[in-house]
């Protein structure tokens, strides 16, 4: 099935609730090829052109279509809008995958290493879930944590992202120099209007994590009215703070026996170092 408009797609999903909506299919076909998924029916979303762009709304909000591909988000006009999301899309994978992989698919798949997820979490974005005759608005974090999951027959249509007009950074640590899954990623955005720093750490947990205490602490260290300068020692301390908040002592420990031993596990120490470096650099670059 290849519906040409959003209404047709929603109706098709309502008619066959077991059908799988397919946008870029990069995650879906990987599961199908591995034999982990046997779709009963497919509803292709590639023809819905209205979801492949974005529009602006009052109150400084951009409404991004769920069908925006990573390659489209990488272009300069989008990067001027939401730089961190463009950075995340640029590093998301090889060109073959970025040409078809979509923003909405990245959210719905909710892979732990999904690159756009920490950015959307840090931006406190919300998504629109549409079904036949109705739609509702859900924060991305609620969707990812399973607090308010996608119900059968619903389609993720729009992603509402605030435009902050301030530096945003996305940094990612991978196992190799080419496109690869993140071992840890950090998205950090400044919100000068609210005098806040918002940070999210991806790929270290099933969902992106927000170190709220570290954010609040470092926001108090920044001279918001002046040149937004910060003591380098505070930047380094922020990195350690974020790492300690996001990586538990028992990270990577197998079984309860290792979990009760003294001190953090070796994997936790290593990952904390990675996260702290990423967070420190992200804050440094955002305030540069």
Partner 1 sequence: MTTDPNETLDADPLGLTPQVSRELRPCASYTLRVNGFERPVTDAWIGESLLYVLRERLGLAGAKDGCEQGECGACSVQVDGQLVAGCLVPAALAADSEINTVEGLSAAGGASDVQQALAESGAVQCGYCTPGMAMAVHDLLQRNHRPTEVEARQALCGNLCRCTGYRGVLAAVQSIADGRASDVEEAEETAEQAEQAAAADQPAADRPAEEPAAEPAAAVEPPVYTDADAWIEHVPQPPAEQTPAGAGEPYGDGPGGYDSGVYDTAVLTPVQGIPAQTADDQVYYPPQGYPEQPYQGTPAHGTYVPGGYPQQSGYDTGYDDAPVYQPTPAHGTPLPGTAFDGTPPHGTPYVATPPHGAPAEGTAPAGVPYGATPAHGIRLTEDDHAS
Q: Of 162 and 264, which has the nearer Cβ to partner 1?
A: 264
The angle that helices 116-123 and 83-90 make with each other, rounded to 10 degrees, is 170
Q: Of 43 and 143, which has the nearer Cβ to partner 1?
A: 43
The angle that helices 232-246 and 266-286 make with each other, rounded to 10 degrees, is 140
Compute the least distance from the CB of residue 58 to partner 1, in Å.
34
Q: Of 72 and 198, which has the nearer Cβ to partner 1?
A: 72
Q: HEC profile for the chain?
A: CCCCCHHHHHHHHHHCCCCEEECCCHHHHHHHHCCCCCCCCEEECCCCHHHHCEEEECCCEEEEECCCEHHHHCCHHHHHHCHHHHHHHHCCCCHHHHCCCEHHHHHHHCCCCCCHHHHHHHHCCEEEEEECCEEEEEEHHHHHHCCCCCCCCCEEEEEEEECCCCCEEEEEEECCCCCCCEEEEEEEEEECCCCEEEEEEECCCCCCECCHHHHHHHHHHCCCCCCCCCCHHHHHHHHHHHHHHHCCCCCCCCHHHHHCCCCCCHHHHHHHHHHHHHHHHHHHHHCC
Q: Of 62 and 201, which has the nearer Cβ to partner 1?
A: 201
Q: Of 135 and 281, which has the nearer Cβ to partner 1?
A: 281
Q: Of 32 and 166, which has the nearer Cβ to partner 1?
A: 32
Provide the binding-site residues for partner 1, judged by CB under 8 A: 2, 22, 24-26, 28-30, 32-34, 37-42, 44, 46-47, 71, 93-97, 99-100, 178-179, 230-232, 235-236, 273, 277, 280-281, 283-285, 287-288
Whose CA is closest to 161, among 193, 116, 192, 205? 116
Compute the least distance from the CB of residue 42 to partner 1, in Å.
5
Compute the least distance from the CB of residue 281 to partner 1, in Å.
5
Phi, psi (deg, nearest 5) at residue 174? -125, 170
Compute the least distance from the CB of residue 270 to partner 1, in Å.
10
Compute the least distance from the CB of residue 124 to partner 1, in Å.
25
Q: Of 28 and 144, which has the nearer Cβ to partner 1?
A: 28
Whose CA is closest to 139, among 156, 150, 126? 126
Compute the least distance from the CB of residue 129 to partner 1, in Å.
22
Q: Of 55 and 285, which has the nearer Cβ to partner 1?
A: 285
Compute the least distance from the CB of residue 201 to partner 1, in Å.
18
Could you tell me the two tokens for 269? 């120490």
Compute the least distance from the CB of residue 145 to partner 1, in Å.
27
């Amino acid at each position: 099935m290849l519906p040409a408009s959003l209404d047709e797609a929603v109706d098709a999903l309502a008619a066959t609730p077991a059908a799988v909506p397919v946008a870029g299919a990069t995650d879906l076909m990987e599961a199908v090829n591995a034999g982990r998924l046997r779709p009963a029916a497919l509803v292709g979303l590639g023809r819905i052109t209205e979801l492949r762009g974005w529009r602006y709304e009052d109150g400084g909000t951009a409404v991004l279509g769920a069908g925006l591909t990573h390659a489209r988000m990488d272009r300069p006009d989008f990067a001027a809008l939401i730089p961190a999301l463009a950075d995340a899309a640029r590093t998301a994978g090889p060109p073959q995958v970025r040409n078809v992989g979509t923003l909405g698919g990245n959210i719905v798949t909710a892979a732990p290493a999904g690159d756009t997820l920490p950015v959307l979490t840090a931006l406190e974005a919300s998504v629109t879930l549409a079904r036949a005759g109705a739609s509702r608005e859900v924060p991305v974090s609620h969707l990812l944590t399973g607090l308010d999951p996608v119900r059968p027959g619903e389609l993720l249509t729009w992603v509402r992202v605030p435009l902050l007009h301030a530096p945003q950074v996305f940094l990612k640590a991978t196992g190799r120099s080419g496109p690869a899954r993140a071992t840890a990623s950090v998205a950090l955005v400044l919100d000068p209007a609210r005098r806040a720093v918002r940070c999210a750490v991806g790929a270290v947990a099933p969902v992106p994590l927000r170190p709220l205490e570290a954010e609040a602490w470092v926001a108090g260290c920044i001279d918001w009215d002046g040149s937004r300068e910060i003591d380098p020692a505070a930047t380094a301390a922020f990195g350690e703070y974020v790492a300690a908040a996001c990586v538990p002592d028992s990270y990577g420990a197998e079984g309860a026996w290792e979990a009760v031993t003294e001190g953090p596990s070796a994997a936790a120490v290593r990952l904390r170092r990675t996260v702290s470096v990423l967070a420190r650099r992200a804050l440094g670059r955002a305030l540069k």
